[in-house]
Structure 1
Amino acid sequence: MPMIRAEFLTGKTQEQKRELVEALTRETARVLGVREQSVWVVLQEVEPENWAVAGTPLSER
């Protein structure tokens, strides 16, 4: 069973997350040739102060 983990900053709507899950599931199943029922998706929302780029937290950019 494929498992997709998507990490992104907080602030997305439930509808955006639902659409993301549906697209990831559909396309993973298509590309890997598996049933959609076997695809797991885990969404992880991260606060900007816990995500850094080039040594600087996004909350400070």
Structure 2
Amino acid sequence: MPIVTIQVTREGTLPGAERTTREQKEALHKGVCDLLFEVLGKHPDDTFVVFQEIELEDWGRGSSSVIEYRKRKAQLVY
């Protein structure tokens, strides 16, 4: 019985969206189930997919939140 957890930051992936849409989650769920069936022979009815959306301020990279990391990265000149 596979259990797959998908974690994403809670931010819009489409213009005007504030979070992952229901349609995007459905597509991810189907894709994960199809892949587990194709690779491991696991039947989709036996696969559980858990989505966790995390607020940006609760997600860090390096020594700061993702918000601060992105601000610093945007200021870098290459």
The alignment's TM-score, normalised by the length of structure 1, stands at 0.89
1:13-24 matches, cutoff 5 A:
13-24=21-32
Match of 2:37 among 26, 29, 33: 29
* Greater strand share, structure number: 1
1:2 aligns with 2:2: yes
Amino acid at match of 2:6: A
Separation (CA, whole Å) in 2 of partners of 1:8 and 1:27: 19
Amino acid at match of 1:24: V
Gaps of 5+ in 1: none
The alignment's TM-score, normalised by the length of structure 2, stands at 0.72
* Sequence identity (%): 31
Q: Which runs of 4+ in 1 moved over 6 A?
A: none
Secondary structure of the structure 2 residue equivalent to 1:45: strand
Aligned length: 61
Secondary structure of the structure 1 residue equivalent to 2:20: coil
Deviations 1:13-33 (A, max 9, x none): 111111111101111121111
